Amino acid sequence: MKKRQPHPPPPGIRFFSQGVGDGVVFDKITYPDFRTFIFPLRIRGGKPISLFPFMAAVFFCSVNGDLQTYGILLSNTQIHHWFQKARFCLGIMLFCTGMYMNIRSDSLLTSLRNEKEGAYSISLGFLFENVSCANFLGEIVEWIGFSVACFNLPSLAFAVFTLCYIGPRAVHHHRFYQEKFEDYPKERKALIPFLL
């Protein structure tokens, strides 16, 4: 009698059985939770937001969350070669570095807002010595790292979208600061230190 071969587990189960998915899912859950629940509580004197941008953000985040979940759980994510493991580890390190850059920059911006209620001031310290929008740089590094770790189309699409959306915002903020402050540091770039 011929012995039946068991069916292989679904891709998502293979992913988690190797322990690789734990890092990606932790990254994908931790940062949005910080942004949703902790960061807004730290802001004082924030501006009110109208309903349409809020609902558009909810819609985008819901669709993006579904796409990222699909990319993580349903793509072929087994690691068979040392290069794949190295790529995954590099992606996680980039994500964590970007998250640190983003959270630390947001903390500096929040402290400026708390010091001078409603007034604009020049950001100083950390990456703000080199770029005007260090928090945006951190966000971009984060999602590029996530894309490198996941190595799938949805995460790549989100990293490219983040760059294309936040990059022009950083340039706009940089120009605003240059026009608003006469003593704004001339050597400071908008987003990428020493380049842009």
- What pLDDT, in 10s, does the model give residues 174-193? 999 999 888 888 899 988 88
Identity at 51, one-letter amino acid code: L
Per-residue model confidence as pLDDT tens digits over 66-89: 888 888 877 765 666 767 788 889
Q: How far apart are CA 130 and CA 139, in angstroms?
A: 16
pLDDT category, 12, cuts 50, 70, 90? very low
Residue 14 neighbours by CB under 8 Å, 6+ apart? 8, 77, 78
pTM of the model: 0.73
pLDDT category, 7, cuts 50, 70, 90? very low
Top pLDDT among 178 and 118 is at: 178
Residue 175 exposure: Cα atoms within 13 Å on the Cβ side: 6
Give whichever of 14-23, 68-77, 78-87, 135-144 has the largest mean pLDDT.
135-144
From the number of C-beta atoms within 10 Å of its C-beta (0-12, 13-18, 19+), residue 145 rates as buried
Task: Work out the mean pLDDT of the chain and round it to a whole number.
Answer: 78
Identity at 32, one-letter amino acid code: P
Quick one: pLDDT at residue 65?
A: 82
